[in-house]
Amino acid sequence: MTQSDSKIRERQAEARQAVITDVAAHEAGHAVAYWCYGEIVLTLNVSSDDGGFCQPRFPSGQTTVESVRQSMVMTAAGPAAAALLCGTPAEPSGKDADDLQRMARTLHGMLADEATIKAEIDEALQRAQALVQRHAKAIHRVAVRIVETTNEIATTRTTLWEKEIDLEDEIKTS
């Protein structure tokens, strides 16, 4: 391997690590928000190739206005956490932005005006920002654990289970 090849591989590894760190912070934000609202996180999956996902186990029951608003906060907490820990834009994009639009329309009907939808999303973003600030230490711990686990198993994907990161006391006291 030439010195040039070695430098290319080193840069690729650094770029991969930066992506994992950003995605880990984003998914940690979702996970801690779920835990704060009493949801059980089934899996937390991070990949340098295709991002990540945080899969909660939502309780069965009737959907209420407040449960939809809480879901919006949980969705917005991902980008808010990545912004806090990594300096990435806090504005939701991609799937998060689509989900927020869909949930706001669920609250106000498909014919709701854009001002109403925007106000609902802005409220969710503010609540998510407050949650992320209040639980920044827990989000950081989850993100670090995701990165460590990813590095320990030397793959581009890691899955954490809630029981692997005991945050119950920290979330209750934050």
On whether the pTM is more than 0.85, the answer is no
Domain ranges in the chain are 3-173
- Whether 160 shows a pLDDT value over 60: the answer reads no
Return the higher-pLDDT residue of 48 and 161.
Answer: 48
Could you give the C-alpha distances from 132 to 74, 138, 150, 162, 174, in angstroms and in order? Answer: 10, 9, 23, 18, 11
Q: What is the pLDDT of residues 38-56, one digit of tens each?
A: 887 777 777 666 677 787 7
Provide the pLDDT for residue 16. 76
CATH of 3-173, one of 3.30.450.270, 1.20.58.760, 3.30.470.20, 3.40.47.10: 1.20.58.760
